[in-house]
Amino acid sequence: MERVVTVPGAPWCAAVAGRWLELLDARPVARLCLATGSTPLPVYARIAEAHGALGAASVLLLDEFGDLPADEPESCDRVLRRSLIDPAGVADYRSISVGTPDLDGECRAVDGWIDTGPGGCLDLAVLGLGVNGHVGMNEPGSPVDGRTARVELAASTIASAQRYFEGRARPTWGVTVGLGDLLAAREVWVLATGRDKATIVARCFESPATAEVPASLLQDHPNCTWWLDKPSAGLT
Ligand code: F6R
């Protein structure tokens, strides 16, 4: 069952961060899988301000771009470290080493990180939403039971990622936690803001659940919350 929270007045990020802090209060040792991209950053800033809130939590990076220069400041790892991990401090942080020669071994090790949690699943996955419905780098047509894997990015994702890299890099692939583990998480949040997400948000609710629109598969998740601002909810 999905729950939709539209935040019309108060800052959207305050509502999301407030609920997150309540959740951490109830379960301080939570195992979290976190997206980067631009949408969650204001929420991460609020969590980072709440010093110590993540002190007992474990965090897994949701995905990473391939073939970035080693010093690229907008890699998913660098973004998450800068916005949340370093200022907040966490008990355990697991990034994804896409540059390793044994990429399959790295993917299986990320799976192992997930499997060693209580119940062998993530407590909370905090996801953004691609304009084609992707979550993480699980593009349309991804296997619903997929685990961590190297994936090729859709053309719209490659184009959209250009706003992060400003010409320094043009990644065409990445490594992502798979839909199988995201759909198996105890709780899933999808964060979406801005008018350019309104069409895909509507599609995720109006179309049947299909791997062609990966986020629509969350229709069948027992504990999924969509955190929408008014423009992404199509209300303005
Ligand atoms: C990034 C990720 C992606 C983004 C999505 C939306 O870690 O998993 O799925 O969440 O592409 O990106 P923004 O938030 O920049 O619109």
The confidence score (pLDDT) of residue 9 equals 59
> Which pLDDT tens digits describe the chain residue by residue (236 residues)?
567 887 765 689 999 999 999 999 999 999 999 999 999 999 999 999 998 999 999 999 999 999 999 999 999 999 999 999 999 999 999 999 999 999 999 999 999 999 999 999 999 999 999 999 999 999 999 999 999 999 999 999 999 999 999 999 999 999 999 999 999 999 999 999 999 999 999 999 999 999 999 999 999 999 999 999 999 999 88
Closest protein CA for atom 3 of ligand 1: 136
Q: For residue 101, report the distance from its CA to the centre of ligand 1, in Å.
A: 26
The confidence score (pLDDT) of residue 7 equals 73
Active-site residue 71, yes or no?
no
Catalytic member of 77, 111, 132, 138:
132
- pTM, rounded to two decimals: 0.97
Atom of ligand 1 nearest to the CA of 36: 7
The confidence score (pLDDT) of residue 6 equals 76
Active-site residue 106, yes or no?
no
* Any ligand 1 atom below 6 A from CB of 133: no
Atom of ligand 1 nearest to the CA of 35: 7
Place of tokens 């994804």: 96
pLDDT in tens, 118-167: 999 999 999 999 999 999 999 999 999 999 999 999 999 999 999 999 99
